[in-house]
Structure 1
Amino acid sequence: MPQNSQNFIKTYFSNVQIGLVEKSFDDYQVKFTNDLEVEFAKDGDWREVKSYVPLTNTNFIPREVMNCVKGKYATAKIMEIKKNYNGYEVKLDDQKELIMDKTGNLLSEKY
C-alpha cells in the first residue's frame, strides 16, 4: 500500500487490528477486525470509510463537512463517508444520506 494510506491507518485507526488488505486494479480495500472498512485510491488517498457501527474517529473528515453534520443533525452519528470528485456522500445512523460539496454545503438529503 502507498505510504500515505499506511499513515492514514496509523493516524486514525491504529487501535484497530487489520483483518485483510485487498488490492485491485485501481484501489486498495482494508478490512479491519471490527467490521470497519477503508477504501483507498491507487495513489493512496482515502475514498471511502464505512462501518456497521458509528465511526468513533472522525478526525479525518474535513471540518466543513463535520460542521454541517453537527449543525443540522446534532445527535446523528456518521456510519459511512465517501469522497468523490465534487464532494462527499455521508450516511448517518438514522438512515439519512447527505450529499455535500467540497466546502461542506449540503446539496441534498434522502432517506
Structure 2
Amino acid sequence: MKTKLKLAVYLIAGLMFGLSANAQKTVIKKEALPANAQTFLKTHFGSKKPSYILEDKEILSTEYKVQFDNKIEIEFDKKGNWKEVDGKNEKIPKSIVPKKIASYIKTNFPKEKVTKIEIGTFGYETKLSNGLELKFNLKGDFSKIDK
C-alpha cells in the first residue's frame, strides 16, 4: 500500500513539474492582447507605449504582463481582465481605482496615493504610498488594514 502511495506522489509531483516546465513566455504586440486588455490600456494609459508585453502560456492558463517605461506593470488574465496594477511604489492612475475605494482612501488617507491594486475572488487589495495595505470587498466596502 505504501508503495502505491509513494508512486502516486511521484506521479503528481512529476506532472506538476512537467506542467510548469511547459510554460512559455513570448513578447507580443499590443494588438495581440485580448480586446478587454487593449481597451483598458487605451482608457487608462492613452497613447503611452509599453516597454514590453509578455504572453505567458501554460498548459492550463494564459496570462499577460504589460510594463511601461515608468515601471508600472499590469497583469491580465486570458480574457484580458486586469488582475493587478503595480506602480512599483509610484502612484497608479486614479481612473483604475473604483470610485468607492478612491473615496474611502481620500477621506481616511488624504495625503496618500495608491501605488498598487489587485482584484481577486473576494475583493480588492490596495497598497498606499505609506506602505499600508487596505482590503475591500468586491462592492468596494472597506474590510481591513493589512500590515
Give TM-score, length-normalised by structure 1: 0.92
**Corresponding residue of 2:109:** 73
For 1:110 and 1:82, how far apart are their aligned partners in 2? 14
Residue deviations 1:4-32 (CA, integer Å, cap 9, x gap): 10111111112432111111132100011
For 1:2 and 1:22, how far apart are their aligned partners in 2? 12
Where does structure 2 lack aligned partners over 5 or more consecutive residues? 1-32
Bigger RCO of structures 1 and 2 (CA < 8 A, at least 6 apart): 1
For 1:61 and 1:32, how far apart are their aligned partners in 2? 18
Give yes or no for the alignment of 1:20 onto 2:52: yes
- In our comparison, the structure showing a higher alpha carbon Rg is 2
Higher helix proportion, which one? 2
Where does structure 1 lack aligned partners over 5 or more consecutive residues? none
- The percentage of aligned residue pairs carrying the same residue is 28
Give yes or no for the alignment of 1:100 onto 2:141: no
For 1:14 and 1:36, how far apart are their aligned partners in 2? 14
For 1:19 and 1:101, how far apart are their aligned partners in 2? 32
Residue deviations 1:42-75 (CA, integer Å, cap 9, x gap): 11111110113112x2212211111111121111
Does the residue aligned with 1:24 lie in a helix, a strand or coil? Answer: strand
**Corresponding residue of 1:46:** 82
C-alpha RMSD of the superposition:
1.2
Higher strand proportion, which one? 1
Does the residue aligned with 1:10 lie in a helix, a strand or coil? Answer: helix
In structure 1, give the amino acid aligned to 2:91: P
For 2:96 and 2:131, how far apart are their aligned partners in 1? 22
For 1:8 and 1:16, how far apart are their aligned partners in 2? 12
